[in-house]
Amino acid sequence: MLAAVIVGVQISIGWRRLFDPWLQMSPSTLLSAVSFTLVGYFARALRNYDYFLPLTRGGFAVCLKLTLLHNLLNNLLPMRSGEGSFPVLMKRYFCTPLSRSIAALLWFRVMDLHALVAFALFAVGNRWLSGPMHVVVVSAWLLLPLGLLRLQSFELPQELINRIPTRWRGRFAEAGKGLPQSAKAFWRAWFWTAVNWFVKLAVFAWILQLFAPMPFSAAVAGAIGGDLTSVLPIHGIAGAGTYEAGVVAALLPFGVLPDEALAGAINLHLFLLGSSAVAGGLALLIRNRPMAETVAKDPVP
């Protein structure tokens, strides 16, 4: 897939023509885009830090390192295998049981999907829905977390629990600790999720507009289309091919020309990979908190 993308771009557009807009971009513009992207990573690190308190107390810098490394591996490794780095790094840096961090990661992805769809409905929902229907759909989607909050308090009947093998009960109980333990924790995690995606989509939409003429709503849709490809079962090395396909598919309904949509999608993907690499390099400069200190302050059974 990666080889097909490289050859296909050369035949349809040409890599030299594709890179020309980068040479014309001012350094201040590129620096601003990378800086705002780092702000989004910072918000994501705050979500991780706040969500896993008290285990993470005093270790925000390590949480930031974990977030940046997880993001880099997620963007580079094929088939979403980079997701596996999150529980591994949580275990290494904060002694968090794998079942707990895996459950938290799944919950993060639910929040991410909700935020993505919410921003999509705000940005382009009125294109397909009439005024009153648009308001109803957006309102219903925004109220969905209330239902999830109530669902989380649901407990299995004791008879069903007794049928679960003893060794699995402990694992399920530990996994349950990976879910929000209070309504306050629930909404704080949702807040940081919204901040992260607001910053990321705004920056990515801006980047798309720098490379192809399009309205801002179309650019937001393109950025969302690229990120939604991350849930596909087939995901190539560094998302090559699938990411571009998601961006182009979201841009074409807005009348963006195919060649311009493809050029914008590829350049957005290059920016995503480049900023991830820069952030990953910065992460290597952050010193780990000693494991013994973590265990002594916040012992995990």
- DSSP labels for 114-169? HHHHHHHHHHHGGGTS-HHHHHHHHHHHHTHHHHHHHHHT----HHHHHHS-HHHH
**pLDDT band at residue 62, thresholds of 50, 70 and 90?**
very high
Is residue 132 within 8 Å of residue 114, measured between CB atoms? Answer: no
| DSSP category for residue 253 | G
The residue count of the chain comes to: 301
SS3 state at 77: coil
Q: Which of 22-36, 47-61, 128-142, 240-254 has the lowest mean pLDDT?
A: 128-142
Task: Give the pLDDT score at 292.
Answer: 41
Instruction: Return the structure tokens found at 162.
Output: 């007794």
Is residue 56 within 8 Å of residue 49, measured between CB atoms? Answer: yes
Q: Which of 106-110, 179-183, 203-207, 245-249 has the lowest mean pLDDT?
A: 179-183
**Angstrom distance (rounded) from CA 31 to CA 17:** 22
Would you say residue 296 has pLDDT above 70?
A: no
**Angstrom distance (rounded) from CA 254 to CA 91:** 45
**Angstrom distance (rounded) from CA 35 to CA 26:** 14
Task: Give the pLDDT score at 220.
Answer: 92
| DSSP category for residue 254 | G
Could you tell me the pTM of the whole model?
0.82
Task: Give the pLDDT score at 299.
Answer: 44
Mean pLDDT of 250-255: 89
Task: Give the whole-number percent of the chain exceeding pLDDT 90.
Answer: 31
Q: Which of 76-80, 105-109, 137-141, 159-163 has the lowest mean pLDDT?
A: 159-163
**Distances in Å between the alpha carbon of 113 and those of 6, 16, 231, 246?**
30, 36, 10, 15
- Positive or negative, the CA dihedral 18, 19, 20, 24 is positive
